[in-house]
Homo-oligomer: A and B are copies of this chain.
C-alpha cells in the first residue's frame, strides 16, 4: 500500500524505484547527454538529433520516410516532421518517387558540407565519453542498448 506510508517511507520507495527504473534512468541520461551534443554542434546550428538524422539520410540515399524510420526506431509521422525541419535548413531534399505516395529523401551538397564539419565535432564528444567511461564500458553500454532496442522491435 502506497497510501498508508509515511513521508519517510515514500521517500525511500521513490529513491529505490528511481534507481531501479530503466526507463527513468535512460530518459534522464539521454536528457543530460543531449545537452553535451547540442553544445558541441551549436556552431553549426545543428542539434544532436539532427546530426544523427543527417547521417542516416547520407547513408541511405533516396530512402523513403518509411525506410528511414525503421532503423531509427522512430514513428513515421515523427520522422516526417523532423525531415521538414532539415529541409527548411537546406540540408536534405525531398522528391517524389515513381510511386507518388512515397517521398524520397536525399542529402544536399550543403548537407554534406555541414556533415563533414559535424563529424569532427562528434568525434571530439565521442573521445571525451571514451576518456571518461573507458572503452570497455562504452562498448558494453552500446551492446546493451542495441540488445534492448532489438528485443523491443521484435516484441
Residues of A within 8 A of B (CB): 1-3, 7, 10-15, 17-37, 48-49, 52, 55-56, 58-61, 71-74, 109, 112-113, 115-116, 119, 122, 125-126, 129, 132-133, 137-138, 140-142, 144-149, 151-153, 155
Q: Which residues of B contact A55 (CB under 8 A)?
A: 13-14, 17-18
Measured CB to CB, the closest approach of chain B to A65, in angstroms, equals 16
User: How many copies of the shown chain assemble into the complex?
Assistant: 2
Secondary structure type dominating chain A contacts:
helix
Taking a contact as CB atoms under 8 Å apart, the answer to whether B21 and A52 are in contact is: yes
Taking a contact as CB atoms under 8 Å apart, the answer to whether B18 and A26 are in contact is: no
Taking a contact as CB atoms under 8 Å apart, the answer to whether A59 and B137 are in contact is: no
Taking a contact as CB atoms under 8 Å apart, the answer to whether A13 and B59 are in contact is: yes
